[in-house]
Amino acid sequence: MAGYYIVTGAAGFIGSNLVRALNARGERDIIAVDNLTRGDKFSNLVDCEIADYFDKKDFFEALSNGAFEGGIEAVLHQGACSDTVESDGRYMMDNNYRWTAELIEFCQTEEVPLVYASSAAVYGGSGVFRESREFERPLNVYGYSKFLLDQVVRRQLAVRTAPIVGLRYFNVYGPGERHKGRMASVAMHFFDQYRATGKVRLFAGSAGYGDGDQRRDFVSVDDVVSVNMHFLGKADASGIYNCGTGRAQTFNDVAVATVNACRAQHDQASLSLDAMRAAGLIEYFPMPADLARKYQSFTEADLSLLRRTGYSAPFAGVGEGVVRYVDHLARAA
């Protein structure tokens, strides 16, 4: 008899999409773990099938009491504070580092495969995005919490008793993120701005980049889920891997894709970036000084290690992924 799949952060953005993907594979024995202090997140699970729900604070007690007598097939750990400007370091380290380190210890003791969410924030001020210690320079306590956890995992790899995989997510966008508020993707914010005001606002030039030309690796949640599913049942691929498209694109690219997708909803013709600027559909404003010191103006995942595990699927660029996302947002509006 197969055991349970445990998904932490199950009512959140990536977690709920993972539950949905497991359902699509025919899995129903899923334990959802989350903190519903923000109760509106429940809506992400309404169309999902789960076996049970546990609050985060009760989860370890349930584990120690043998709540899952059928065993555990794997843990997909997505639960974390993802607010990159959170200043409470004690909270961040307790939530993102200590709690996850204890979960890793449990999974290794019980020989349970674990896939957990790391972050491209680990690279911080580095200009090289390769999974190697010399390129890891976090700029904020969020990035440091993920960095420190990855070091724990690296020390564990040589003596592991079960597969353990860390996925360094780059800029993820897609359905299920609305509850994240200010930390939701720029694609969602651009959609909301355009629907409300008929224009979108981007950061002006900084760090040598022109207006809106800062470049990030924007990755669809559909591709992130696909990578997670790739590692389930893969016993020979433990390690830390980048999870992005491998292609940096500008914030202007995201804005143009979003605006044109919104225009298409009303049978309006697509416009170029220059035409949008001339028409006042795109505006720029200065980046706050306190953010500029901690801002990643460029990210681009090196996918070499991921590809070596046999993951060969293509990743959607913003021209495809953002358009698909805007269609979803328009239907939900």
Extract long-range pairs of 230-235: CB within 8 Å, 24+ residues apart.
Answer: 230/309, 230/310, 230/311, 231/115, 231/163, 231/165, 231/167, 231/309, 232/74, 232/76, 232/113, 232/115, 233/74, 233/113, 234/163, 234/165, 234/309, 235/113, 235/163
Phi, psi at residue 181, to the nearest 5°? Answer: 60, -125
Which residue among the candidates 53, 91, 180, 294 is catalytic per the annotation? 180
Amino acid letter for position 201: R
Give residue-wise pLDDT tens across range 8-46: 999 999 999 999 999 999 999 999 999 998 888 999 999
* pLDDT the model gives residue 87: 63
180 is catalytic: yes
Which residue among the candidates 97, 142, 194, 325 is catalytic per the annotation? 142
Instruction: Measure the CA–CA gap between 56 and 36, rounded to whole angstroms.
Output: 9
Which tokens sit at 264? 């298409």
* pLDDT the model gives residue 128: 97
Pairing between β-strand 72-77 and β-strand 52-55 as defined by DSSP bridges:
unpaired
What does the pLDDT average to over 141-161? 94
Nearest CA to 169 out of 32, 49, 5, 9 is that of 9
* pLDDT the model gives residue 303: 98
Instruction: Measure the CA–CA gap between 12 and 208, rounded to whole angstroms.
Output: 35
Percent of the chain with pLDDT over 90: 82
Using CA atoms, how far residue 105 sits from 9, 145, 176, in Å, is 19, 17, 30
Does residue 307 carry a pLDDT above 50?
Answer: yes
